[in-house]
Amino acid sequence: MRLWITGIGIVSPLAVGARATMDRLLAGERAFAPLTLFDTAGCRSRVAAEVHALRVADVAPRGAAAAWSRTDAMAALAAREALGEAGVSAHDGPLDLVVGGTTAGMLETESDLAELWRNPGTWRPTERMLSHPLSATADALASVLGPFRRVRTVCSACSSGANALILAAAWLRSGRSERVLAGAADGLCRLTFTGFSALGAMSPEPCRPFDLHRDGLSLGEGAAFALLETEASARARGAEPLCELAGWAARAEAHHITNPEPSGRTAAEVLRAALARAGLAPSQVGYLNAHGTATRLNDTMEAAAIGQAFGPAVAELRVSSSKGQIGHTLGAAGALEAAIAALALHRSAVPPTMGLHEVDPECALRHVFAAEPLALDAVMSSSFGFGGSDTALVLCRPGLAPAPARLPPSRVLVSAAATVGPEGVLGTAGGAVYLVPVAGSAPAGAAPAVPPAPARLAFEARDHLDVERARRVDRTGRLAIAAAVQALRDGGLGPLGQEVARSVGAVAGGAFGTIDACCAFVQKFLEKGARFASPAEFPNLVPSSPVAHTSIYAGLGGMVISSHDLAATAESALATAVELLEAGEGAAFLAGSVEEASVAIEDALAPMFAPELPSDVATGRGRRSEGAALLLLESEAALAARGGVGVAEVVASLAWRGTPDAPLSELPPPPGARAAVVTGRYDALGAAMLERSAWRAAPRHEVAPRVGWHEAAGGMALAAAVGALAAGRWDSVLVVGLGRARGYAFVLEARAPAAAGPRPEPLPGDAR
């Protein structure tokens, strides 16, 4: 099966439009100028690559501009161009969407966050806050370009856009999709500008990638999207490809939250793996669009990695960094630079590295100093993100690479689960303690009284972690690490640091990120000045930082990303991990979510994004709690190779947008009488959907009364279901997670019959 790119859209600081952007790149133009979006006083630099003449009101639907961000507007323009060039509409048939990014509406909401931190309890939500969640950009695209059948938001810092394309490829390869719109967008904001300044990573002048005298990066903003589809889909509608996505790879360095692994070992592995997947030799690749940030450590590492991966062929490989012209566009960079590489292939011309005058001897490669016409058969793009998330993509002329066969989906097994909640850090069997029968589904007809969850867990990191190793990790990251360590041990992958952990990836996220820390960070530099911004705090504000910290602490070397979907974030993370394993994109993944107790969420975001919650939850204090839950998922082949059988199998995984009945109503009935339904929080919508499904007679349980009404409750529900299956209490479970116009469902079946002997006592509400 071949994967074709039939449409590309770009919004860059040089131009709005893919072809106009490429024209200016080839002309050697640079987009840097003094920043006008906000005051840069006190920062190391005052220049950036800004998208000028962008008016959100011109792009957003009528009456919705106040709830849209610059990030949303750039994404919409680029995505619309990609669809238009491909000749595809969401109304032509099933179309899926993957969006990468890191900032969303941060620029628009920063003043609100600062005011919220200054005056908790008295601040009132504004419409601008609707653009704050990372998933807001995907929601905005769905509102103007949808309907999309499946929507996902991913983050891996600066490789987010490249990993969005990999997830799209996984959906296509496994047969879940025929067409996917994938890309990324990020807008400039004070938080990232001040944060990179605090790290000392920014250059006072326009950046100079790979130059001997380089002294830091320059920030930019933009968006890029591509329409990916199977060759069969494109041919059926007579579409011509721009190029073929032939190879890809993603690995984690597990080294440091900001600094790259100096040797370039993992980056070289990723480049080699992407080439191997494409079935191409290094000598067949004529151009590589490098990550090339113009920072001391990154450029040296990347040059070493390219040399290791390409060997003698590196002498003929043209290399350039687009960041010398459009700046570092953060989460959008991976998608933008892949799009530029695709256009270089299509136009037989490679763009230069502007700002490069004297090559650093440690970065000696065949750099492109001026645009060069060049017949190309294959090109690559590389992206490296905070936390060591390394990604490479291979694009080629259609038909050049060997056509990979569509593989039968791999069976996905659950080998362990762990929770951090009111009962402490619990392993696989322990999660079932949080199950509470739903009133009316238990024999007695009423749910038992349970103690309210604490507002803040009695979690002491020193009881579960080496705090010296985790000294720069915030509370959210430590909660995630504690769950990961427990799940890995239960799954037989401990002790940490063993080589086997290098095969494990992770997909985890939070609904709103570490928003309290963002509020405090923004409030400090807005009131006291940029020089008071803490370089130690900034890395923890990136949405993917908890999962990145987890990877570093546990030595995870697989693909590491975060997934974000409001109250269904844990379910979106599990669905993503299942889809990646199903498509053969790894051997094992930790999947779930983490939420920290948050004043900002209680005061501002919960009332806006969960208005259906009881008033004492949405506006009160003390009922919203915190927690983390991670499941260890493995492919059947990987688990069998180490002699494991798992505790459960994911026999169905569904994801949808809107509130259709079809997803649940089409599920087959449970295979036996010992079945149950589990949710994070049971509500009227879920009840109505279940009543129209074949699972209507199964007893229902929720976990929110025990774990609190926080956004990670869905992960706790998944872990609790696994615990009940592991204990032999049920044979199958349907886990349902619903959010605003979004839903997920998973059918889990016990992997092996319960051991011979008396059955365990049933949970309340199990007997029918």
Average pLDDT over residues 34-47: 96
Closest CA to 96 of 212, 174, 193, 196: 174
Which pLDDT score, from 0 to 100, does residue 683 have? 81
- DSSP H helices, 151-289, are 160-174, 190-198, 231-236, 265-278
User: Residues 254-293: pLDDT tens digits?
Assistant: 999 999 999 999 999 999 999 999 999 999 999 999 999 9
| Residue 659 confidence class, pLDDT cut points 50, 70, 90 | low
Task: Please report the DSSP string for 251-317 in residue order.
Answer: EE--S-SSSPPTT-HHHHHHHHHHHHHHT--GGGEEEEE------HHHHHHHHHHHHHHHGGGGGG-
Contact 213, 295 (CB under 8 A): no
158 is catalytic: yes
Average pLDDT over residues 24-41: 97
| Of 132, 255, 291, 346, catalytic | 291
User: Residues 190-201: pLDDT tens digits?
Assistant: 999 999 999 999
- What percentage of the chain has pLDDT greater than the value 90? 79
Residue appearing with tokens 């949710």: 679
- What percentage of the chain has pLDDT greater than the value 70? 93
| Residue 404 confidence class, pLDDT cut points 50, 70, 90 | confident
User: Residues 174-184: pLDDT tens digits?
Assistant: 999 999 999 99
Tell me, rounded to whole angstroms, the distance of Cα 92 from its chain centroid. Answer: 27
Confidence (pTM): 0.95
Which pLDDT score, from 0 to 100, does residue 164 have? 98
| Of 158, 189, 207, 243, catalytic | 158
| Residue 118 confidence class, pLDDT cut points 50, 70, 90 | confident
Which pLDDT score, from 0 to 100, does residue 119 have? 84
Which pLDDT score, from 0 to 100, does residue 429 have? 93
User: Residues 291-347: pLDDT tens digits?
Assistant: 999 999 999 999 999 999 999 999 999 999 999 999 999 999 999 999 999 999 999
Q: Is 34 helix (H, G, I), strand (E, B) or coil?
A: strand
- Tokens encoding 59: 């792009």
| Of 328, 346, 367, 564, catalytic | 328
| Residue 688 confidence class, pLDDT cut points 50, 70, 90 | confident
291 is catalytic: yes
Which pLDDT score, from 0 to 100, does residue 611 have? 53
Mean pLDDT of the chain: 91
Report whether pLDDT(761) > 60. Answer: no
Closest CA to 554 of 603, 633, 493, 490: 493
| Residue 455 confidence class, pLDDT cut points 50, 70, 90 | confident
Report whether pLDDT(730) > 90. Answer: yes
| Residue 495 confidence class, pLDDT cut points 50, 70, 90 | low
Please name each of the domains of the chain with its CATH number. 3-396 (3.40.47.10), 412-513+564-750 (3.40.47.10)
Average pLDDT over residues 516-542: 93
Report whether pLDDT(238) > 70. Answer: yes
- Tokens encoding 509: 């996220």
**What span, in angstroms and rounded, lies between the C-alpha atoms of 563 and 579?**
13
Average pLDDT over residues 556-568: 95
Quick one: the chain helix, strand, coil %, rounded to 5?
35, 20, 40
- Tokens encoding 375: 């017949």
